[in-house]
Amino acid sequence: MAEAHQAVGFRSSLTSDGAEVELSAPVLQEIYLSGLRSWKRHLLRFWNDFLTGVFPASPLSWLFLFSTIQLSWFLQLDPSLGLMEKIKELLPDWGARHHGLRGVLAAALFASCLWGALIFTLHVALRLLLSYHGWLLEPHGAMSSPTKTWLALVRIFSGRHPMLFSYQRSLPRQPVPSVQDTVRKYLESVRPVLSDEDFDWTAVLAQEFLRLQASLLQWHLRLKSWWASNYVSDWWEEFVYLRARTPLMVNSNYYMMDFLYVTPTPLQAARAGNAVHALLLYRHRLNRQEIPPTLLMGMRPLCSAQYEKIFNTTRVPGVQKDYIHHLCDSRHVAVFHRGRFFRVGTHSSNGLLSPRALEQQFQRILDDPSPACPHEEHLAALTAAPRGMWAEVRRSLKTRAAEALEAVEGAAFFVSLDSEPAGLTREDPAASLDAYAHALLAGRGHDRWFDKSFTLIVFSNGKLGLSVEHSWADCPISGHMWEFTLATECFQLGYSADGHCKGRPDPALPQPRRLQWDLPDQIHPSISLALTGAKALSANVDCHVFPFAHFGKSFIRRCRLSSDSFIQIALQLAHFRDRGHFCLTYESAMTRLFLEGRTETVRSCTREACSFVRAMEDREKTDPQCLALFRVAVDKHQALLKAAMSGQGVDRHLFALYIVSRFLRLQSPFLAQVYSEQWQLSTSQIPVQQMHLFDVHNYPDYVSSGGGFGPADDHGYGVSYIFMGDDMITFHISSKKSSTKTDSHRLGQHIEDALLDVASLFQTGQHLKRRFRALGEEDSRHRCGFPSSTGGSKASMTSSNC
């Protein structure tokens, strides 16, 4: 979600005080180390690899094969065609008494070899099948005979009841695109935003790059793709995230919201108890690989590698580069409340604590009257400071407060019990949602531990939220966990009539342990400086959230269009009306069809989209003409999205070429220009992956309202959106208040208008614009009486749990 800001700023991570930092390691050595890291990860997962590596077979299948061979041997049949006799001859002779044992061992060895050969054949066949991407290129709603045949074969070779990592060995590696194709697609993508003179100059640089440097850089990338698991993902993690020296807050983290209209209980400790218990249940299922792998079309598996670091993970700051510290297990959470830190155990001798017991522990913290120690209250602001500064301070902190620091960094995750309420309110729905988003993204600058993989935020009125560090995984992974958490804590665990967690407290539990920080005097100025910077960064973010309920996915589906492409083209129209010009647009697409794939960029501002926008602003153009151009723009966006998902995107390939050029110390004016560009519009769709957990028809309010991230550019916007059920879309918009060119609320109004204008082009949607324009300030587009995105009237809400 927030990766566009890091993608723009990663070049600064290769500089120090304005001077270029050379990557001293030879490129071949770096490629060798990339492969070594890949193999090391496989060895560390040896046991899980054994359990899942035999998939789609199972250990029982070996027993069945061995029993069949033994039975055949008993019936004086030799299925091995003499091989078992040769194996027996190679075994030691233990005498006549053990002659039968030699036969059993020979049968076991032959069965093992045959079993392994069959599994290897299945893996190779499945990998070849999964390398087929023709299904992606087919028209929406259509399926050719080859694709039907492919689906049938995948179903045959995939086996039954896969575990989370069952498909990892069978996933293909991400291909390295043709450098000529990448450069051609890049030039096509920048044509709408460059003048004729600038485009001609860029084309000259591109041709010079292809002639002089491209082949050498491409050769190194192909070498890495053969040796390492993924030719780009480890460099993406290192250079885009871990080497970035800017603060994590706003620049890199992102947030996820609770239910929009419903809060299951107003009791803060109870909501925290159920949520923490649900998260740890998810971790338990994750450790046992009981989470089903994500399947596209119910058949095509996605890579599950990113799930490994959800819990027990901290990003540790370094002077020049951070690193990710992951523990195999952790049996406590770190809790922050009113400037104090606590260690709360999550397990007893009988296993995981019940929700009611966890609620009791959180209530003890809320009832604790002890004050924060000097400077302890603002200590976490250091995690929102520039990374180099925090790394220097952490060295001192580790020598004087090692136990407390270890308790926080070694926790399963971080919990912040906020003293203020949040969420949708009757008094000012629009402002309250904006404040809710801002509290999740930045808080007060000192009440989140931004280094942790995620922070669970529980507000005083029982509202929940999540702040997520980005380097370890992308949004769909944390989103999957969050969907499980909300569904489990609300529907599975539930609450008693008085709002408490179900069950009984456990008075025998020890009190939560208060963490003691011995803060040396020399770090006090650093804490104050970090707090000042965090407050300034937080105050500069303009967040705006609005649910759009005129129509949703069902209307777009009736128009026979891709819902994501529909929104993306409408965003181009909205942004043009807001700024008066076109700009490079970043949309995040996943590449998890490949082993250890992460994301690729879809450059949504295409010539086709620009033609549609100009037509919409031209009063002489008729609706049928605009509709035809809109369909062309949607088709183009779909083609770009499918190319990105199938490993044929532009930006990751150019990024990897740039990194190789830095290792080789080759100066490339073309690549330098590519990474001098700014993404003034960064967008992302938050997928809903587990609709079976929610009953959207009977309980439409019980769906997560998505999340958001900070803008990628000081004069740009960050826009995320989620389809809530079939008839609502929630938008999250961010920008910088310091910019005179942007206004999140203004863009929100333009998005609303653009969506209605686009919908009115369709015969089935013409009534929408007339209907809701007539309603004006009193429009009823939001359930619970939510007003228009610019504020609107304050109608009464129908839900008592808003």
Catalytic residues: 470
**Radius of gyration for the chain, computed over Cα atoms and rounded to the nearest angstrom:** 28
> Angle, nearest 10°, between helix axes 563-579 and 744-759?
130
Per-residue buried b or exposed e for 99-115, using 16+ beta carbons within 10 Å of the residue's own CB? eeebbebbbebbbeebb
How many Cα atoms occupy the beta-carbon half-sphere of 29 within 13 Å? 6
Q: What angle do CA 798, 421, 732 make, to 5 degrees?
A: 70
CA distances from 377 to 372, 538, 565 (A): 6, 17, 46
Per-residue buried b or exposed e for 495-528, using 16+ beta carbons within 10 Å of the residue's own CB? beeeebbeeeeeeebeebeebebebeeebeebbe
Residue 344 parent element (H or E): strand 340-345
Per-residue buried b or exposed e for 288-317, using 16+ beta carbons within 10 Å of the residue's own CB? ebebebbeeeeebbbbbbbbbbbbbbbbeb
Indicate if the alpha-carbon torsion angle 523, 528, 534, 537 is positive or negative. Answer: negative
Q: Determine the 3-state secondary structure of 336 from DSSP.
A: strand
Helices within 131-229 (DSSP H only): 145-158, 179-190, 196-212, 214-227
Per-residue buried b or exposed e for 780-794, using 16+ beta carbons within 10 Å of the residue's own CB? ebbbbbbbbbeebee
Q: Could you tell me the two tokens for 229?
A: 């698991």
The residue length of the chain stands at 802
How far apart are the C-alpha atoms of 699 and 701, rounded to whole Å?
6
Q: Could you tell me the two tokens for 417?
A: 């019990």
Indicate if the alpha-carbon torsion angle 373, 374, 375, 377 is positive or negative. Answer: positive
How far apart are the C-alpha atoms of 705 and 687, rounded to whole Å?
11
**CA-closest candidate to residue 600, choices 171, 175, 254:** 175
Amino acid at 283: R
DSSP state for residue 452 in the 8-state scheme: B
